Structure 1
């Protein structure tokens, strides 16, 4: 597992739409392993492939709950419920936070590293993280959605 360089805003790759993954092979496995290592090293709770300069629909997340590391390939939100307003940060936008409205509960489907269909459900921080990372795959940053952006005093980012 290698630590990759995290792309910083305003790099144009962060505004691109990532392409679906069609090959589930050792290259994808290495990307997932490297992304997890990079996320933990940063440290963060989520990372999308465009954040390491790869325009593929791949995300990793670990919000510190019982689910541990979640890897999703070609993820999409299938349902949401409720609303929460809270702070978000981003490894690609160090030094800033923003108050972002997100669903309170999210159900997402995608594939695992081997191409098998998976579904995950999350509430609160995990719901926020799922939405945040999938936004990255569509070229959307939290600063696009934030009601207010401010200087990050903690630097603990998603």
Structure 2
């Protein structure tokens, strides 16, 4: 089921989400709904708080041929390297800006079966993971923007920074 995405400045986006104590059928349904909602809004990541569910649950899929990453209670274990890139957010339509983040991350989380998993991510996937972890902590990417990029300049910025 597609769920309406909460738009900033809704205060729920600034509250830390609660850890999932037990993975239930409701948790599994939430993962499915998050995926459907993300795809319907042409997103690459979405956290439960963005649909008003204050639980540490998020879903990521960079490209349609990539596997869907479902994370419950994710925790950043390690980050290294730094890069600057453009970010956007489903909860902040038409807001774009450059953000500095780790280039590589190691994250621990539970999958929908309750298995403890680790994900080593780099480049854009690492950026997306950090963006979603920020959501779960009650932070928006706009808190970290170095330079805001106007909508009409996004394509030009992307073209100029393709090889960075």
Q: TM-score, normalised by structure 1?
A: 0.93
| Higher Cα radius of gyration | 2
Residue 115 (structure 1) shift: 1.4
Task: Name the SS for the 1:22 alignment partner.
Answer: coil
Unpaired stretches in structure 1, ≥5 consecutive residues? none
What displacement does 1:152 show? Answer: 2.7
SS of match in other structure, 1:51: helix
CA distance in 2 between partners of 1:16 and 1:95 (Å): 22
**Structure 1 moving runs of 4+ over 4 Å:** none
Question: 1:121: Cα distance to partner?
Answer: 1.1
Determine the structure 2 residue equivalent to 1:86: 85
Tell me the distance in 2 between the aligned counterparts of 1:59 and 1:11.
Answer: 19
Distance 2:42 2:84 in 1: 23
Provide the aligned C-alpha RMSD in A.
Answer: 1.5
Residue number in structure 2 paired with 1:74: 73
Q: Which runs of 5+ in 2 are unaligned?
A: 156-164
Tell me how far 1:81 sits from its aligned partner: 1.2
Contact 1:73-1:112 at 8 Å conserved across structures? yes
Q: How many residues align?
A: 154
Structure 1 pair 67–121 and aligned structure 2 pair: CA distance change class (3 A): farther
Change (3 A) 1:107 1:67: farther
TM-score by length of 2: 0.90
